[in-house]
């Protein structure tokens, strides 16, 4: 992709409305454009990051046998009346009437719809367990939308819904999703802290939040330090809870191992039994022809919130530092002197050679050297190949690591070879 064609309206100004660093950087890097309070247009850089996250999520969810769907964003109110949640959900729900005066709503979540699809097609115990997921837009009319896309009203979410024959089955599915989530967050380049959201309720509701440590987070976490280095992905094998629930007397965390940090909730999983299957009369027949209401769970990841959370966890004073796995491009080529023929020749050569193996952003714009370097650091692509006049004459380019700031001079072939 050529920067001269790529739409990334960057800016030097720190926007006064943005308090959180990720919000500032997303605006400055030209990733989002506010449409209304808590509602954003997502511009090409952020679309590319969300696609990367989406691909990782899909790979890991497919691996555990989850079925990707798109539930409709607009749902009939009747489904929610059936489950008993229509009134209870309150003002966070955006309610809509069609031209015939029928009541609809914009999905804040999709348990009812998943249950509705299930009851239409699934009749036998042989079809279980079953796991659906989607990656789609949600709308919740949050009372206080804030911090940019961190708490939006319209946001992009991965939501999953599981159906099992009994509690043991539901627990197995829950553990499978838990592990898959830990893997997803690690692959993205983050350190997830799973928090037991409803402790001690064995047999009742199980729930875990997945938190990313960040000074700017909305939650306070009490956790066992070992969590950060552990790869033991059993739910609650190591303990963490949020502030209002922390009781030092009841805590299994030894005092010497206790750490307290702020966190951003990027995922949330629940087991809730037959809460929807029963009122919505979604059942299957078991081996003996008996009616069984499946045990359900739901599993969310805030994809759009993750974009901001990644930036909170990975930036410096010059801008964003994308983890390689979710970076909008793998590498950027900075031609500092677009009028110089040698520089153009080298930049094009490197660009053409890398295109087949990497996503490359080639900054071919005629702007000042300072602006070009600042923009590259701001948008945070992990590697930069910098082409300047003097060294270009002798076939040398600079290779910069955005994270460490380290710059190494190398031949054109070596720079290309580094990525092929």
Q: Under the rule (CB under 6 A), what is the footprint of ligand ATP?
A: 109, 140, 142, 151-152, 155, 157, 265-268, 300, 302, 304-305
Q: 311: closest CA among 157, 147, 146, 145?
A: 147
Choice between 264 and 386, CB closer to ligand ATP: 264
Minimum Å distance from CB 150 to ligand ATP?
6
| Residue placing its CB nearer to ligand ATP in the complex, 194 or 302 | 302
User: CB of residue 278 vs ligand ATP: minimum separation in angstroms?
Assistant: 21
Q: Quick one: 198 or 257, whose CB is closer to ligand ATP?
A: 198
Quote the CA–CA distance of 244 and 221 in Å, as a whole number. Answer: 10
Nearest-approach distance from CB 142 to ligand ATP, in angstroms: 5
Cβ 158 to ligand ATP shortest distance, Å: 8
Residue placing its CB nearer to ligand ATP in the complex, 304 or 327: 304
- Looking at the Cβ atoms of 269 and 387, the one nearer to ligand ATP is 269
* Cβ-based nearer residue to ligand ATP, 23 or 305: 305
Chain residue at closest Cβ approach to ligand ATP:
302
Residue closer to ligand ATP, measured from CB, 309 or 397: 309
Q: Distance of alpha carbon 237 from its chain centroid, rounded?
A: 24
């Amino acid at each position: 992709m050529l920067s001269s064609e790529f739409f990334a309206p960057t800016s030097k100004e720190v926007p006064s409305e943005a308090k959180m660093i990720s919000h500032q950087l997303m605006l400055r890097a030209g990733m989002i454009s506010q449409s209304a309070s808590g509602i954003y247009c997502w511009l090409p850089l952020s679309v590319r990051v969300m696609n990367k996250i989406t691909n990782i999520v899909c790979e890991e969810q497919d691996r555990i046998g989850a079925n990707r769907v798109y539930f409709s964003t607009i749902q009939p109110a009747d489904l929610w009346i059936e489950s008993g949640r229509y009134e209870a959900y309150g003002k966070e729900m955006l309610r809509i009437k069609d031209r015939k005066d029928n009541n609809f709503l914009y999905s804040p979540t999709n348990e009812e719809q998943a249950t509705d699809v299930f009851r239409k097609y699934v009749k036998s115990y042989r079809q279980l367990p079953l796991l659906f997921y989607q990656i789609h837009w949600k709308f919740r009319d949050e009372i206080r939308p804030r911090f940019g896309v961190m708490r939006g009203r319209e946001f992009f979410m991965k939501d999953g819904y599981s159906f099992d024959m009994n509690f043991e089955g539901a627990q197995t599915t829950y553990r499978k999703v838990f592990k898959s989530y830990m893997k997803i967050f690690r692959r993205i380049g983050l350190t997830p802290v799973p928090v037991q959201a409803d402790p001690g309720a064995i047999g009742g509701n199980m729930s875990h939040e997945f938190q990313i440590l960040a000074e700017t987070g909305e939650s306070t976490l009490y956790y066992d330090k070992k969590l950060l280095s552990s790869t033991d992905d059993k739910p609650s094998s190591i303990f963490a809870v949020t502030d209002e629930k922390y009781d030092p007397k009841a805590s299994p965390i030894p005092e010497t191992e206790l750490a307290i940090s702020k966190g951003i909730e990027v995922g949330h999983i629940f087991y809730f039994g037959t809460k929807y299957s029963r009122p919505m009369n979604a059942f299957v027949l078991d081996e003996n022809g008996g009616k069984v209401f499946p045990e359900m769970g739901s599993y969310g990841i805030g994809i759009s919130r993750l974009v901001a959370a990644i930036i909170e966890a990975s930036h410096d004073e010059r801008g964003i530092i994308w983890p390689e796995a979710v970076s909008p491009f793998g590498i950027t080529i900075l031609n500092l002197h677009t009028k110089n023929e040698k520089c153009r020749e080298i930049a094009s050569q490197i660009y053409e050679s890398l295109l087949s193996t990497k996503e490359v952003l080639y900054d071919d714009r005629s702007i000042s050297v300072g602006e070009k370097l600042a923009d590259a650091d701001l948008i945070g692509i992990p590697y930069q190949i910098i082409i300047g006049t003097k060294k270009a004459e002798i076939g040398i380019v600079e290779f910069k690591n955005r994270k460490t700031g380290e710059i190494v001079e190398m031949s054109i072939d070596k720079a290309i070879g580094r990525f092929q």
